[in-house]
């Protein structure tokens, strides 16, 4: 508990120093607003769009895409990993195509996704999905393959159905590895969401950034950037809470 | 209570499997009939097929030939199995682990909890129901594994070197508790072990197996009085049996193990 408290103080101090340096650069050192707006101007820009409701529309859109992409990517990653470990023959078939897809830089495929899936929400979710899928998939394969053979004996002795076996034994046993993938995937998801919005559409934090920079509204640009940082932190916190709940049985091992 | 004379009927069961360099005989034909409520120890060196025999009886592996009949009148899970390691589900508490076989066969939670609590008390883990496996010692985890194996009340309990990973003192205690559990439940128990002392101390009959190829060399009746305890270990008959088992296990003509 006291460790957590001192960590909170450390974080606050670091943040304060950062803010002070920011203020120092804009105030006393006199950097122009179009290069670096002051903390106060940025804050004002943020409050303005928050009050008009514009902020929530953009934030909500981006968040919704990330959450959908994460959920779909996780389900598909876990499902395909499971099918491949259950049917090794299938794994031989799928290995090649999957390696090619995995090594292909998904960001470079983004324009293609827009051509295929349009300017709307679908192409964005597809991009996020493709970024989340692989880390989760790789983690899940590792997790399913690492299953203690004695656990297989146990499920055979108890005559568990496939569903019981998956839900009660295989999925929880693979959860630590799946989470490693999910955490990487979540960072990627945010990058993918913002990038997709840069490229097309009229809503989202990424769009807000391109709009602000195109119209030289640097304080607004800063506000949008700050919100993506906050979004990233929120995602991190949410995943950490989920991890503590699902993996508390792992005990002290914590990064 | 009428007891089955042929609880486990093993006739000419053998096991071979195909390896890179040809077929390997894991177990030469074995025949033995085990009565209900008997305590059988199986002792032998590594590679004598004793674990193989247990896996064949449990149905985990299929025999290459011969037959195994269990007089269990069509139960879905005729045997409880205790592995060398506890094989508990690390994300479940002790009570959830013990109740797991009941949960997965559609027994109501309330009924399952009652059975699990009784068993946890019987194996001496009262007060640790809500603990996670990693919070317990090796011996306590193995107790939980025994409780789980007994939870859906199988007539037969198969134990594959269950106490080989715990220290000697704990092992002695667990042996005594196992005898107490056996006496109060009337299960038919087959216990595989490396230790001739353990085999002689626990069993009604000791099956001696030798390696390469794995085969049943002989079966000894153990005439030591029940209930057994520290005095049994001072009994000259016990020492004579242990010495005999050692002689049986010694491979002929100084062949290296």
Task: Write the pLDDT tens digit of every residue in A73-103.
Answer: 999 999 999 999 999 888 888 888 888 888 8
Q: How many C-beta atoms lie closer than 10 Å to residue B80's C-beta?
A: 25
CATH of B1-78+155-251, one of 3.30.70.100, 3.40.50.300, 3.30.43.10, 3.40.50.360: 3.40.50.300
Q: What is the 3-state secondary structure (H, E, C) of chain B?
A: CCCCCCCEEEEEEEEEEEECCEEEEEEEEEEEEECCCCEEEEECCCCCCHHHHHHHHHCCCCCCEEEEEECCCCCCCCEEEECCCCCCCCCCCHHHHHHHHHHCCCCCHHHHHHHHHHHHHHCCCCCCCCCCHHHCCHHHHHHHHHHHHHCCCCCEEEEECCCCCCCHHHHHHHHHHHHHHHHHHCCEEEEEECCHHHHHHHCCEEEEEECCCCEEEEEEECCCCCCCCCCHHHCHHHHHHHHHHHHHHCCHHHCCC
Helix axes A88-103, A54-86, angle to 10 degrees: 140
The tokens describing B31, both together, are 């025949």
- Nearest CB to A150 within list B76, B83, B132: B83
Please tell me which of the candidates B76, B85, B104 has its beta carbon nearest to residue A150: B85
Distance of CA B178 to the CA centre of its chain: 10
Least CB–CB distance from A158: residue in B90, B101, B132: B101
Confidence band, pLDDT 50/70/90 cuts, at residue A110: confident
Contacting residues of A for B104, CB less than 8 Å apart: 158, 160, 164, 168
Instruction: State mean pLDDT over A24-30.
Output: 86
* Cβ contact B23:B186 at 8 Å: no
Pairwise CA distance, residues A58 & A67, whole Å: 14
Q: What is the pLDDT of residue B216?
A: 93
Q: Which residues of chain B fall below pLDDT 50? A: 1, 253-257
Question: Binning pLDDT at 50, 70 and 90, where does residue A254 land?
Answer: very low
Structure tokens at A200: 């097309």
* Interval A55-72 mean pLDDT: 95
- Name the minimum distance, in Å, from the CA of A155 to any CA of chain B: 10
Sheet holding B22-34, edge to edge: B22-34, B8-19, B65-70
> Least CB-CB distance to A168: which of B85, B87, B104?
B104
Q: Could you give the strand order of the β-sheet that contains B79-82, starting from the edge strand earlier in sequence?
A: B79-82, B156-160, B188-193, B39-43, B205-210, B215-221
pLDDT at B251 (0 to 100): 64
Count CB pairs under 8 A between chains A and B: 43
Enumerate the domain spans of chain B: 1-78+155-251, 88-153
The predicted model gives A108-113 an average pLDDT of 88
Q: Which of B56, B62, B89, B132 to mutate to test the interface with A (most CBs of A within 10 A)?
A: B89
pLDDT over 70 at A36, yes or no: yes
Q: Assess B90–A contact: CB distance below 8 Å, yes or no.
A: yes
Whether residue B77 and residue A159 make contact (CB cut-off 8 A), yes or no, is yes
Which domains does chain A carry?
Answer: 38-250 (1.10.3720.10)
């Amino acid at each position: 508990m006291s460790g957590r408290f001192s960590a909170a103080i450390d974080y606050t101090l670091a943040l304060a120093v950062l803010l002070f340096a920011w203020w120092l650069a804009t105030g006393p050192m006199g950097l122009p607003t179009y290069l670096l707006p002051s903390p106060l101007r940025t804050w004002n820009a943020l409050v303005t769009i928050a009050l008009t409701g514009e902020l929530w529309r953009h934030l909500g859109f981006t968040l919704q895409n990330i959450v959908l992409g994460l959920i779909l990517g996780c389900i598909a990653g876990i499902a395909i990993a499971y099918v491949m470990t259950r049917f090794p023959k299938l794994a031989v078939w799928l290995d090649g195509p999957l390696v090619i897809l995995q090594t292909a830089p998904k960001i470079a495929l983004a324009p293609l996704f827009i051509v295929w899936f349009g300017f709307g929400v679908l192409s964005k979710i597809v991009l996020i999905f493709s970024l989340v899928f692989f880390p989760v998939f790789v983690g899940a394969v590792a997790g399913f393959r690492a299953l203690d053979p004695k656990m297989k004996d146990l499920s055979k002795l108890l005559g568990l159905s496939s569903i019981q076996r998956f839900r009660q034994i295989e999925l929880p046993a693979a959860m630590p590895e799946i989470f490693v993938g999910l955490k990487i995937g979540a960072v990627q998801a945010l990058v993918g969401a913002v990038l997709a919005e840069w490229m097309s559409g009229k809503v989202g934090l990424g769009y807000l950034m391109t709009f602000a920079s195109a119209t030289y509204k640097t304080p607004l640009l800063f506000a949008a950037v700050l919100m993506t940082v906050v979004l990233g932190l929120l995602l991190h916190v949410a995943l950490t809470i989920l991890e503590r709940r699902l993996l508390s049985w792992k005990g002290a091992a914590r990064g | 209570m009428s007891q089955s004379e042929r609880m486990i009927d093993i006739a000419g069961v053998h096991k071979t499997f195909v390896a890179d360099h040809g077929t390997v005989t894991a177990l030469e034909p074995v025949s033995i009939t085990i009565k209900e409520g008997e305590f059988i120890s199986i002792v032998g060196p590594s590679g004598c097929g004793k674990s193989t025999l247990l896996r064949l009886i449990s149905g985990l592996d299929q025999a290459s030939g011969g037959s195994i009949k269990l007089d269990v009148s069509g139960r879905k899970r005729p045997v409880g199995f205790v592995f060398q390691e506890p094989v508990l589900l690390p994300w479940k508490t002790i009570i959830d682990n013990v109740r797991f076989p009941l949960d997965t066969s559609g027994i109501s939670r309330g009924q399952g909890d009652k059975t699990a609590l009784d068993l946890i008390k019987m194996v001496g883990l009262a007060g640790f129901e809500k603990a996670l496996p990693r919070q317990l010692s090796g011996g306590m985890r193995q107790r939980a594994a025994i409780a789980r194996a007994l939870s859906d009340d199988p007539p037969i309990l198969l134990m594959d070197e269950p106490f080989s990973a715990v220290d000697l003192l704990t092992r002695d205690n667990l042996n005594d508790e196992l005898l107490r559990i056996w006496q109060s439940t009337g299960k038919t128990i087959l216990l595989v072990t490396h230790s001739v002392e353990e085999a002689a101390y626990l069993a009604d009959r000791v099956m001696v197996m030798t390696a390469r190829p794995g085969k049943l060399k002989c079966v000894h009746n153990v005439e030591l009085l029940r209930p057994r305890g520290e005095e049994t270990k001072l009994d000259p008959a016990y020492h004579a049996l242990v010495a005999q088992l050692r002689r049986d296990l010694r491979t002929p003509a100084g062949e290296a193990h």
